[in-house]
């Protein structure tokens, strides 16, 4: 089975890809699912749980005393009756000095909770923490965009406390105040997710991965998949990640089309493309 991960329908429409609308009209519409990468993978491969992203990124041996966890800087916007997630720092400039300043402000608080920053990628932190802290069991950040965070908080009140305390720390940082003055989104919340051990990674019914996403590349390494360039052709079952509209446009311009595949958009909509016997007949 081939799986194509696509941007949102509005982003695809803005690209004006020749033949894409016709392709979708001939395809079978899929039932809508939750937005985000995890939901797309669960639906495509029949998984009952999400991959342990933090452990896969760490690529380290399991430790009975320490767990791996991811944490993302996000932008929350208070509204009259909700608090919405409006942006993810991991999607912004990874070298921006504001990110480094905020992470350094978080470091002492994390240390007080015996949480160690093992690595940083832009606004995403890879953490080692005591197993006793438990799993926040929270959704990945890409599934939060546009949602009211209050209904998505971890059930564990200890993790809710940590998130609330870090919101206070981040809001008080001078670089966030300067970002507001420059009409930029302040990174005012740290979201914990991706807990687990690498041995719990679910199986993949594909043999190739064409992606530049560090999460998917870590999943491919753990499963022993061959990795390809996004625009590389292959006849083997492949997961092709073109959620970045620029990559999808380059792929389309290179003449690469989904012949038989599941197409899943970032918002949870999608199609199943099948070879048409009538189309073969006319060819």
The third-level CATH classification (topology) of the domain covering 56-196 is Alpha-Beta Plaits (3.30.70)
Average pLDDT, the chain: 92
pLDDT beyond 90 at 233: no
* pLDDT the model gives residue 220: 94
Residue scoring higher pLDDT (235 or 7):
7
Is the pLDDT at 280 greater than 80? The verdict is no
Given a cut of 70, is residue 279 above it in pLDDT?
no
Tokens of 86: 């409006």
pLDDT per residue as tens digits for the range 17-49: 999 999 999 999 999 999 999 999 999 999 998
Task: Sketch the domain layout of the chain as residue ranges.
Answer: 2-51+203-282, 56-196
What is the mean predicted confidence (pLDDT) over 140-149? 94
Q: Provide mean pLDDT across the span 79-90.
A: 92
Predicted local distance difference test score (pLDDT) of residue 80: 86
pTM: 0.91
Q: What is the pLDDT of residue 276?
A: 59
Q: What is the pLDDT of residue 59?
A: 87
Average pLDDT for 164-185 = 94
Pick the residue with more confidence: 199 or 220? 220
pLDDT (average), residues 192-221: 91
Res. 278: pLDDT tops 70: no
Q: What DSSP line would sit under the chain, residue for residue?
A: -EEEEE--HHHHHHHT-TTHHHHHHHSEEPPP--SSHHHHHHHHHT-SS---HHHHHHT----SSEEEEEEEEEEEEE-SS-EEEEEEGGGS-TT-HHHHHHHHHHHHHHHHTT-EEEEEETTEEEEEEEGGG-------GGGTTTSBGGGTS-SSHHHHHHHHHHHHHHHT-HHHHHHHHTT-----EEEEEEEE-GGGPPP-S-SEEE---HHHHHHHHHHT-EEE-TT---SS-EEEE--SHHHHHHHHHTT---SSEEEEETTS-EEEE---HHHHHH-
Closest CA to 73 of 99, 43, 36, 97: 99
pLDDT at residue 274 greater than cutoff 90: no
Taking alpha carbons only, the member of 255, 266, 217, 254 closest to residue 5 is 266
pLDDT for the residue numbered 235: 86
């Amino acid at each position: 089975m081939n799986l194509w991960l696509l941007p949102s329908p509005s982003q695809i429409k803005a690209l004006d890809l020749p033949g894409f609308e016709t392709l979708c009209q001939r395809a079978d519409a899929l039932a809508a699912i939750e937005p985000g990468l995890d939901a797309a993978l669960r639906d495509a491969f029949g998984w009952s749980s999400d991959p342990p992203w933090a452990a896969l990124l760490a690529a380290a041996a399991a430790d009975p005393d320490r767990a791996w966890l991811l944490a993302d800087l996000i932008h929350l916007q208070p509204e009259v009756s909700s608090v919405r997630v409006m942006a993810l720092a991991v999607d912004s400039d990874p070298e921006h000095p504001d990110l480094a300043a905020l992470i350094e402000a978080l470091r002492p608080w994390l240390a007080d909770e015996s949480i160690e920053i093992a690595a940083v990628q832009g606004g995403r932190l890879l953490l080692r923490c005591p197993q006793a802290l438990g799993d926040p069991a929270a959704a990945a950040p890409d599934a939060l965009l546009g949602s009211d965070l209050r209904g998505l908080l971890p059930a564990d009140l200890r993790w809710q406390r940590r998130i609330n305390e870090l919101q206070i720390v981040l809001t008080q940082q001078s670089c966030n105040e300067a970002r507001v003055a420059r009409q930029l989104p302040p990174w005012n919340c740290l979201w914990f997710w991706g807990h687990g051990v690498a041995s719990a990674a679910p199986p993949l019914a594909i043999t190739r991965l064409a992606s530049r996403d560090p999460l998917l590349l870590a999943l491919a390494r753990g499963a022993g998949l061959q990795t390809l360039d996004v625009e590389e052709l292959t006849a083997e079952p492949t997961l092709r990640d073109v959620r970045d509209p620029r990559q999808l446009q380059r792929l389309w311009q290179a003449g690469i089309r989904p012949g038989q595949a599941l197409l899943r958009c970032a918002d949870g909509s999608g199609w199943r493309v099948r070879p048409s016997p009538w189309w073969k007949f006319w060819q």
